[in-house]
A and B are shown apart, each in its own frame.
Chain A
Amino acid sequence: MFADELKSLRRLGVRHVLLQVLNFASVLTTGLMIWKGLGLVCNTESPIVVVLSGSMEPAFYRGDLLFLTNPASERYHTGDITVYKIPGADIPIVHRVMETHDTVSKKSGHVTASPLGQRQLILTKGDNNPVDDIELYQGLEWLERKHIVGKVRGFLPYVGYVTIAMNDFPQLKYALLGGLGLLALVQRE
């Protein structure tokens, strides 16, 4: 089955294979650059996330794609849907802000010019959960800005399901990657 491919590979020579490897690498790095560039513009470590659970149904279902931003000049408001990551927990959570408390700094001799210079205490809840998220905070009483990855701005349904399928069936991932790599090597031009 692969005899033909192997033959053509031998005929094309080392130079061609190297060129294809280079092409492949440039595609990968371009992707990475776009991702990191987007992260810089949106001020968040992951500008695009996939919904993994049903706790925000019927707004978001498993596999929906969310676009996040986290402007440093904006406070969080009630009703905002935020993605947060508690230290020690491995998966970020997408839930809605239900309470915000903008405290005033008690340090004497300090004046904060902007409300953003002060601690904002946040409480979240999943639309589909009956109670708020205190149990999910792992001992923290409130969320704060440093826990929040971003605010959901845009929404694209179902597209992220590909990544969930790849996580659930790792064979699919390897088959896809292997197939793409092989094609990139074997293709003429």
Chain B
Amino acid sequence: MHTTYARINNASAFLSSCAMALLAMIAVSSLLFTADPKGTLAIDNVQIYPGKGRRYVNKNHDFAFVHFNVTADLTPLFNWNTKQLFLYLQAEYEDAKGTKNEVVIWDRIVRTKDAANLAVQGRNKYAFRNVASTFKNVGPANYSLRYSVMPYVGLLTYGEAARTADVIPFPSKREGVA
């Protein structure tokens, strides 16, 4: 019974059960942190230009350019089990056919508490285009700033930090590039 093999077996089994129990407790502990910080989001202007995209090289496509202004203090989301935040700005709109669209136009990965106090004035990072290739007859859009909290161990959680107060219509297309 008291062979070296049995000892090693017992010790490693005990060690791994302890590690698993500790990890489980850490994962559960992050359910106790229920921070729900809010910020502000303003859309400064939206413009639409024709262009050719990566997806359909031979086809003309309309691209929307969205200038936005975000301020949000998301530091309360950082607790001992927060590895990073994935922040994303999304546009939500419905087109003439009734298709409901959600499109991420900007994102940022925040890895430290210091970087979580946000003041960004910028333009969309990803090409913003409609499935039907133009933004003609497309309903106005809501924009929202959302986050996904990535833990060191445990469950991924999501939330919304800001949302535009009013819907913002898409303007008509401009010709050429300004």
Q: What residues make up the interface of A, taking CB atoms closer than 8 Å to B?
A: 58-59, 77-79, 81, 96, 98-104, 115, 121, 127, 131-132, 134, 141, 152-157
Contacts and interface: CB of A to CB of B under 8 A. Distances in A.
Interface residues of B, number: 31
Interface of B: 23, 27, 54-55, 83-84, 86, 88, 90, 97-104, 109, 111, 126, 131, 146, 148, 150-156, 158
A100 B156 contact: no
A98 B104 contact: yes
Contacts of B151: 155
27 contacts: A58-B84, A77-B102, A77-B158, A78-B102, A78-B146, A79-B104, A81-B156, A96-B86, A98-B104, A98-B126, A99-B102, A100-B101, A100-B102, A101-B99, A101-B100, A102-B99, A104-B99, A121-B131, A134-B54, A141-B55, A153-B155, A153-B156, A154-B155, A155-B151, A155-B155, A155-B156, A157-B152
A101 B101 contact: yes
Contacts of A134: 54-55
Contacts of B103: 78, 98-99
Nearest to A106: B97
Among B54, B98, B100, find the residue whose CB has the most chain A CB atoms closer than 10 A: B100
B51 to A, nearest CB: 16
B148 A79 contact: yes
B28 to A, nearest CB: 12
A103 B97 contact: yes
B86 A79 contact: yes
Per DSSP, chain B at the interface is strand
A49 B99 CA distance: 33
A78 to B, nearest CB: 5
Contacts of A98: 103-104, 126
B82 to A, nearest CB: 12
A78 B150 contact: no
A156 B155 CA distance: 9
B109 A99 contact: no
B144 to A, nearest CB: 10
A101 B152 CA distance: 31
Contacts of B23: 156
Contacts of B86: 59, 79, 96, 127
Nearest to B100: A102
Q: Which 10 A-B pairs have the closest CB atoms?
A: A104-B98, A102-B100, A98-B104, A78-B102, A100-B102, A99-B103, A103-B99, A79-B148, A101-B101, A59-B150
A50 to B, nearest CB: 15
A137 to B, nearest CB: 10
A156 B126 CA distance: 30
Given A100-B102, A121-B131, A152 B126 contact: no
Contacts of A78: 88, 90, 102-104, 146
Contacts of B54: 131, 134
A120 to B, nearest CB: 9
Contact of A79 (B55, B99, B154, B158): B158
Given A98-B126, A99-B101, A155 B84 contact: no
Nearest to B88: A79
